[in-house]
């Protein structure tokens, strides 16, 4: 990760609680203004909570979040909406819109290239309730990035996609980070293979803390993953590809 670049996102001592439970404890981390970055870890490690806390959807009980160099609390809602794109795990609509109508709710209309990249052309007249999970995810992604935000945060965007579309999505996210002068994409992933193959930097969470952060080759080691997941995880490198399996 290029540490000479001013951080797009940074936290210092971030703590988030839910009642008596501590969800995040002492998170100090930063992500530069350009690149594709992953949050990985076991279920309940705090990945989604951290993503939500970074944009104010989860209140911080201690510590600080800085977005594009400014404290999160200093951002007005409209300016914050223009600066970020957010793709939650589940996309809900109170109205049974068509895909075309959903995209009209974006801050900027998606261009033809984005519609083609997300394979939405045949779906534009379809209503949301008729879409598969993967089709809905692609429509939600197009809406989130249509205004070309400098920050994109996506929570398990590959979860509902088949294998070819998972890789298509990751290539699109890489393009979002590479095509703009300054664009940071932070994505929660469960598939460690996708994180190893496509991401510039990986943050590994365990028990609401940062266990390791750095280049995928360094962070996604068998030792670190076994510690994070609480069971033996083996990494196998075949050529330039990395694969992971849980050992019995």
Give a yes or no: residue 143 inside a domain: yes
Write the CA distances from 170 to 163, 189, 200, 223, integer angstroms. Answer: 11, 11, 12, 26
Give a yes or no: residue 207 inside a domain: yes
Q: Which two tokens stand for residue 184?
A: 């940071």
Give a yes or no: residue 28 inside a domain: yes
Give a yes or no: residue 224 inside a domain: yes
Residue 106: which of 125, 122, 89, 87 has the closest Cα? 87
Give a yes or no: residue 2 inside a domain: no
Across 3-12, 39-48, 169-178, 210-219, least confident range: 3-12
Classify the phi-psi angles of 13: left when phi > 0, otherwise alpha if psi is within -120 to 50, otherwise beta.
left
> Which pLDDT tens digit goes with each residue over 22-76?
999 999 999 998 999 999 999 999 999 999 999 999 999 999 999 999 999 999 9
Q: What is the CATH number of the domain that holds 205?
A: 3.40.50.300
Residue with tokens 């598969």: 132
Residue 202's domain spans which residues?
7-246
Alpha helices in 11-130 (DSSP H): 47-54, 77-83, 99-104, 112-117
Give a yes or no: residue 1 inside a domain: no
Q: With a cut of 50, say whether residue 2 has pLDDT above it.
A: no
Between CA 147 and CA 140 the distance in angstroms is 13
Between CA 205 and CA 217 the distance in angstroms is 16
Asked if 172 and 187 count as a contact pair (C-beta separation under 8 A), the reply is: no
Band (pLDDT 50/70/90 cuts) for residue 98 is very high
Whole-number pLDDT of residue 181 = 57
DSSP SS3 for 40: strand
Specify the number of domains making up the chain. 1
DSSP SS3 for 50: helix
> Which pLDDT tens digit goes with each residue over 127-151?
999 998 889 888 999 999 999 999 9
The pTM assigned to this predicted structure is 0.90
> Which pLDDT tens digit goes with each residue over 150-204?
999 999 998 888 999 899 899 989 888 876 556 899 999 999 999 999 999 999 9
Q: Which two tokens stand for residue 235?
A: 């990494």
Give a yes or no: residue 199 inside a domain: yes
């Amino acid at each position: 990760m290029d540490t000479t670049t001013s951080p797009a996102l940074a936290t210092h001592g971030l703590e988030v609680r839910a009642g008596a439970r501590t969800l995040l404890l002492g998170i100090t981390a930063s992500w530069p203004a350009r690149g594709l970055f992953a949050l990985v870890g076991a279920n309940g490690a705090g990945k989604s909570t951290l993503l939500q806390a970074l944009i104010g959807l989860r209140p911080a009980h201690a510590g600080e979040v800085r977005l594009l160099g400014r404290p999160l609390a200093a951002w007005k809602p409209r300016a914050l909406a223009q600066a970020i794109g957010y793709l939650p795990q589940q996309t809900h609509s109170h109205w049974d819109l068509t895909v075309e109508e959903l995209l009209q709710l974006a801050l900027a209309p998606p261009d033809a290239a984005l519609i083609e990249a997300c394979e939405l052309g045949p779906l534009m007249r379809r209503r949301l309730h008729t879409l598969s999970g993967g089709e809905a995810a692609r429509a939600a992604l197009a809406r989130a990035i249509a205004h070309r935000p400098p920050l994109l945060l996506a929570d398990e965007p590959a979860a509902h996609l088949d294998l070819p579309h998972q890789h298509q999505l990751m290539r699109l996210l890489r393009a979002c980070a590479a095509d703009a002068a300054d664009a940071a994409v932070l994505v929660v992933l469960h598939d460690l293979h996708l994180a190893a193959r496509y991401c510039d930097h990986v943050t590994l969470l365990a028990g609401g803390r940062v266990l390791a952060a750095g280049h995928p080759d360094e962070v996604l080691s068998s030792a670190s993953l076994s510690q994070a997941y609480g069971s033996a995880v083996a990494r196998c490198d075949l050529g330039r590809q990395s694969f992971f399996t849980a050992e019995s």
